[in-house]
Each structure stands twice: as C-alpha cells, then as structure tokens.
Structure 1
C-alpha cells in the first residue's frame, strides 16, 4: 500500500504581510533615536557625547543578539524564538517610552537591541515555507522593508517628538510591534525544531560584548584623548585583547555563539567583510547628511528642523524600501556578485560627488537617495548570496554573521563620522566645520570602494 505524502506547507500573503509589518515596525523603533538626539540632550540634560551612547547601545546589543537568535532559530524553530524575542523588544520599547532619565532609557535601548534578530529568523521562515526562487524575492522584500522602516523612523521622529513627546516617539512603534507579533503568531505555521545542541555560549557573549564596548567607547572619546597617546594605546590593547580572547574561546567552544567555522564556507568571510565595509559607507552618509541639513555654517549647511529633515529624507525612504525587492529580482536573474558590484560602484562614486557638491538641498536629497538604493542592493545581494551558498539548516547562522557585520559596520560609520565632526567643531560657536563633512564623505567613499578589492577575493574563493 502506497503512503500518500502530505503536500509541503506554504505561507501566503497574510504571513508575508505580517513579517513585513514586523520588519518595518522594529526598524522604525530602532531609527527614531538619531534625529531626536538634540531634543533628548535638552530634556535629559546630557552632553552630545553622552547622548551618542543611546543609538550605539542599541546597535551593540543588536550585534550580540543577532547570531544567537539565528542559531536558536535553526535549533528550536524560528517562530518560537521570534515570538519570545519580540516580547523582549516590546518590553524595551515600553521602558524607553516611560523612561524618566538617561539610565532607564539606556536599559530600554539594550532591550530594544533584540529587534536585530527579526531578520535572520524571518529568513529561516521564508526559506522553509517558500520555493527557492520565491524565497529570494521574499528575503529581498523583508530586507527592503526593514531598511525602509529605518527611513520611516527618521521621517516621523521629528513630528512625534516635537508635536507630542519623546515618550510617544517610542510608544507608538512599540504598539505596532505588539500588533504585528500577534498577527505573526496567528498566521505563521509553527516550524519544527532543527538540530539539537548545547546552550548559549556565555563566555563568548561576554567577550564579544567587551570587544564591541571597548571599540565604541574608544571611538567615542577619541577627540578628548587625541593628545594622550598612552590612553589611545591602552584602549587599542584592551580591544585587541578582548577580540583575541573571543576568537580563542569560540574556536574551542562546543556550541560557539558565533560559529567562526562557518566563515570557511565559500564566500562567507568575504561576504561579511564586504557587508561591513559597505555599511560603514552608507551609515556615514546616514549620519552626515541630516547633520548637514541641520547645521548653519558660513557658506554651508541649511539650519532646518528635525521635521523638515525627515521630509527631505523621504526620497531615501522610497529608494530604501524599493532596494530589497529590486535586488531580489536582480539576484535571481544576474546573480549576487554583479548586483553587489554595481551597488558598491554607484555608492562610492556618489559619496565622492557629495564631498564636492553639497551646497544645494537637491544635491544632498538626490545623493542620499542614490546611496540608500545602492546600499540596499549591496546588503540584500550579500544576504541572498549567502543563503544560497549554505545548507538550509545553517541559514540562521550564516545570515546572522552577515547581519552582525552590518551592525558593526553601521556603528563604526556613525561613530567615525561623529568623531570627524567633533574634531572639526569650532569651540566658540559649537558649529562643525565644513572640512569635517568633506573629509567624512571622502573617507566613506574610499572605504566603500575598497570593498571591490574584497569582492575580487570572494569571486576567486567561490570559483575555487
């Protein structure tokens, strides 16, 4: 007697819509901080250097959570882990919305960092429940919505903070996250658990935390310690020490937090490096362009409000949201490498053009929109190329590594740009000099262009 096999479970538009809404809402909650930093500095009575800890804290927490989320999703089922992770994010949003002071707000930002796990867990689900070609498009769609959500957060942060309060700025996206999570729980099938394994690698998590914190803290205080080389050397030694210990521990761990062995898969380490470098360039533009909108210097800058800045960034929102689906279709037709190379070349050229041409609003608006599109193409191409190069059971781990590179690159780009502006700020007027913006765009363009060299190694590695 022949046994009839049940047809494979497929997810439809309601499930994809719920995942997309969740991606948008979490990214909005992540991004509302940056444009509202001056307001938070005034209300919390803190310096710009201290206020910068808020977005960096979220990025660092996200970099730590992302690989753990991907691994646990592969092991225990992505839906189960996603639901629990979103409960942590919702708690973080609530704490941030009710925070009366900086320490409590920092706690909320740490909890919100768990939102970075939404992407690898979503990738696991769509790859399990969609055919390979549709899965590539779905990954591009979710990635594009996550990127676009970041621009939505930038767009609405000013009106919410200035029109309502900083509490509403965190509270409203949190309500959307709760609603989207409930919808995903109802419409998404429960995926079975994968391979069994050990628990969380706490030593690895602690050492990676130390590496990230020492690196970001060193960059943040660089303008103040620039004249004290002994302190700089000490910070470098501490960072290298944490990083070296992390690698040694992870190589010996039975169930490492970050599976460094995965980097030996064809194209993996180069995908991570390319993603990191590209995100350094794109994050630099994300920081510098709004700052140039808001500053009012002698012959440069425009001195406009946070609300007006959000409106000027609307074209970037559109191109960011479109970049994921465009990249998904392009990768399916041309492959991930040509799409990544095209995006890198366009972004590097645009950054260098902005270094010379930023005297008119339209130049910054168009340049930022092009950079947003190019960055989305690059990151999505790296993610889709990575998911196609590893076994299905390793999807969460592999994409987690790439997303960690994205978070680290974004944090480095923001912090490095902030250091350049701080170093060039007039001590009397407090206005950053135009040279800081020019140098920031030039360095971002040069750094982005170097990823083309990494791509050459990646192509040879994959061919071998």
Structure 2
C-alpha cells in the first residue's frame, strides 16, 4: 500500500557535495587493491588464483547487497540505509587495514562490498530532494566523483603501500569514508519511505547469495577438476540445485526479488549475455596487465613497482571516467546496437593485440586504456538499452540485473585468468611462462568477440 507523504525537503549544494565526497571516498577505497595486487600476493604468500579471488570478492558482495539496499531504501528511507551501509564499509576498511593474513583481508573486502549498494541510494536521495533537471546534474556529480575517487586510489595506493605500509592504503580512505558519512548525516535531510509495504524476498536473497558463492567456488575449483573430480562435480550439482530452487522460489513469491518473466524478452536476456561476455574481457585485462607489469625485467616483464603500476594504469582510469558520457552521446546519435558493435570490436582487437604485442610498457598502457574505454561505452549502452526495453516499474530490477551480470562476468574473467597463470607457472618458480599471458588474452578476446553474435538478437528483440 502506498502512503501519502509530505513533500520532501529541498537540499542545498552542500548536501549534494557531501554525497559526492562520500562517493569519492568509497571509490578510493574500492580501487586500492588492483595496482597493489602483486605486492599483496608477495606479502601474504598468495597464489595467482588467490589473488584473483581477492580482486573480485568486493564485487560479489556488492551484487548481493544492491537489490537488498534498494528494498530497504523503500522501506526505511535512503539516508537511513546509507548511513548504516557506510558503517559496514568502515568496519570492512578497518578489518582490511589490520589484516595479518589472506582470510582476514578477504573478510574485510566482503564488508567493504556494501559500498556498491550505496550508489543507488545516493540517486534515490537526489531524486527525492531535487527537481528532475537538478537531480540529473547531481547524479552526474556523484557518479563522476566516484570514478574520480577510483582514479585517486589507483594513484595513491602504490606510494602509500611502499612509503608507509599496505595497512595504511586501506586505513586512509576508510578515515575519509567515516568523515564524509558524518557530513552526509548532518547535511542531508531524512527522506520519508516511498512505500510502507515494501517487502524483501529473503529466501530469494539467501539462495542468490548461495548461488554466487557456489559459482565462485566452482570457478576456483575448475583448474583442478581432473585431479578432484568429486569436489568439482559436487559443486556443479549443488549449483544446479540452488538455481532450480531459486527459480521455484521466485515464481511462487508474491514479491519476488527478480521477476523471472523479464528473462522471456530477447532484448533483456541478450543484454545480460553481452554484458557477461564484455566483462569477462575487461576483467581479464584488469587482472593480467598489472601482473605482466610486475614480472621481473630480467625476463619478459618490466619489474614495475606498485607506484609505477598505478601510474601506468592511470590512462585506463581516465578512459573509464569519460566512457559513460561518451557512450550516452553516441547512443543518442547512432543507436545502442551500433555503439555496442563498435565497442566490442575495439575491445576484441585490443585484447588480441596484447596477446602478441606486449614487449613495451606503452603497448600495455595503450591496450588497457582502449579496453577500459570500450568496456565503459558498452556497459553504459547496455544499461540504456535495458532500461528502454522495460516499462518504468521494472527499470530498477532490470538494470540491477545488469550489475549482477557484470559482477559475474568480472568474477569469471578474473578467475579464469588466474587459473591460466597458475597452470602456466614454471616448475620450481612463482613466475608464469609468457605463453600463459598470451593464452589468457586470447581467451578473453574470443569470449568478447562471440558477443557480437548476440547483438542481432538484441536488435530484433527491441524491434519486436
């Protein structure tokens, strides 16, 4: 039942900038692992596969938290939920900062993943407190500052880890998260719940969480499937059972977490397939390029320090930051299918090029920047296309599934790449053979290229 509520209180620029600063702080905390992953692997004695798991743990939590945060925001108000989510994020940052080993660091990353659910809550707040035109600008400010925070984290993580310690690269942004959360709490007025009868499909949430965890365990066990067939087979059976149970629960629930009828639309299921494939390619490059930078210069690598890696990755962070607005303009002028086809072609070409041409630093810098630009263009176009394919009441759930699919694609790409490097590690050393990197890039390029076959189905579904 919908309740009659008083008009929301208008907010000033200070409240919006507080949201933006909070987004920047969370973006910084989110991005510190990628440029320092080789350092973390050495200090915590992690294998490449364990490093891959560390790099995607936060995203898995985010995929689970996002739909829950939306439901709670409807029930209790966006600000109420955001402040509490940020308390969880701050706790995760503290755990990561103090972590003496990999299991504790993984726990910290799980808690930090709650930050992903806070972004939609920011958008809820600005839409409730601002007119349509001003809210669009405010959403752009918040989104841009999150990406800007990610760029800052990429740059600062290496110098802080080398100059102070890996502990401080988590602690400093966590302190910023606490301060900016207090600013939001003080400056942003409370927003009334939009609905009084909002319910959470807890069985669906629990089953989806179990599906994601089991899927990740299966991906990690896949390289050893021949050596441990019972374990891998058991995970596959468990995954199938969980998916079957989740489908049944969603079909019978009066308020399902996901309306499964959405998947009957070609424009939607093809969107998710394309998103998955593109994110596999993106994740592979995100994982493989820093590893290749880190390999000793005495071999085929460059012996780059964490600071150097952060600097080398900066162009790709800038490319990712401009890809969203660029994609929006391109979609409006040329259409989603044309933008997607171009983006996928650019990404595929860059991945194949990196597979066979990576003897100079600039090869990797340019290739990674092109991949980041193409990926951002494709994902933004995919979100726009997905939103246009459903009625207004289903926009939230349809686009949130793009986020979940993005996480799954990223997780699959990182885990497969980590497994390829582990399988290609030279006997008696911790250094993968150069051919392992070639194989990883080729696999990513092939998966990305296959998504071109789905674009025709996407176009037909929209026309229908």
Give TM class, smaller chain.
Answer: 0.7 to 0.9
Q: Which 10-residue stretch deviates more, 336-345 or 404-413?
A: 336-345
In the superposition, relative to structure 1, how do residues 434 and 42 fare at CA in structure 2: closer, same or farther (>3 Å)? closer
TM-score by length of 2: 0.88
Tell me how far 1:429 sits from its aligned partner. Answer: 2.5
In the superposition, relative to structure 1, how do residues 183 and 267 fare at CA in structure 2: closer, same or farther (>3 Å)? farther
Aligned residue in 1 for 2:431? 431
1:256-405 alignment runs, 5 A limit: 256-264=256-264, 267-296=267-296, 300-405=300-405
Tell me how far 1:140 sits from its aligned partner. Answer: 6.1
Question: Equivalents in 2 of 1:219, 1:54: separation in Å?
Answer: 14
1:204-243 alignment runs, 5 A limit: 204-243=204-243
Tell me how far 1:148 sits from its aligned partner. Answer: 5.0
Aligned residue in 2 for 1:119? 119
Contact 1:145 1:321 in 2 (8 A): no
Question: Equivalents in 1 of 2:66, 2:324: separation in Å?
Answer: 20
SS at match of 2:290: helix
Aligned residue in 2 for 1:407? 407
Tell me how far 1:22 sits from its aligned partner. Answer: 2.9
Contact 1:71 1:397 in 2 (8 A): no
Aligned residue in 2 for 1:85? 85
Tell me how far 1:42 sits from its aligned partner. Answer: 4.5
Question: Equivalents in 2 of 1:134, 1:235: separation in Å?
Answer: 49
In the superposition, relative to structure 1, how do residues 32 and 432 fare at CA in structure 2: closer, same or farther (>3 Å)? same
1:137-148 alignment runs, 5 A limit: 142-143=142-143, 145-148=145-148
Contact 1:136 1:384 in 2 (8 A): no
Q: Deviations over 1:181-204 (max 9, x none)?
A: 334445545444234445433322
Q: CA RMSD in A?
A: 3.0
Aligned residue in 1 for 2:3? none
> Any unmatched runs of 5+ in structure 2?
1-5
- The count of residues paired between Structure 1 and Structure 2 equals 459
Q: Deviations over 1:21-79 (max 9, x none)?
A: 33332232223223333443454455554454433332221121122123333454333
Question: Equivalents in 1 of 2:297, 2:168: separation in Å?
Answer: 32
Tell me how far 1:135 sits from its aligned partner. Answer: 6.3
Question: Equivalents in 2 of 1:16, 1:332: separation in Å?
Answer: 27
Question: Equivalents in 2 of 1:76, 1:412: separation in Å?
Answer: 35
Question: Equivalents in 1 of 2:452, 2:361: separation in Å?
Answer: 30
TM-score by length of 1: 0.88
Contact 2:126 2:135 in 1 (8 A): yes
Tell me how far 1:125 sits from its aligned partner. Answer: 4.1
In the superposition, relative to structure 1, how do residues 454 and 128 fare at CA in structure 2: closer, same or farther (>3 Å)? farther
Q: Deviations over 1:262-318 (max 9, x none)?
A: 445673333332222211111111111111111137762212111111111111121
In the superposition, relative to structure 1, how do residues 408 and 206 fare at CA in structure 2: closer, same or farther (>3 Å)? same
Aligned residue in 2 for 1:156? 156
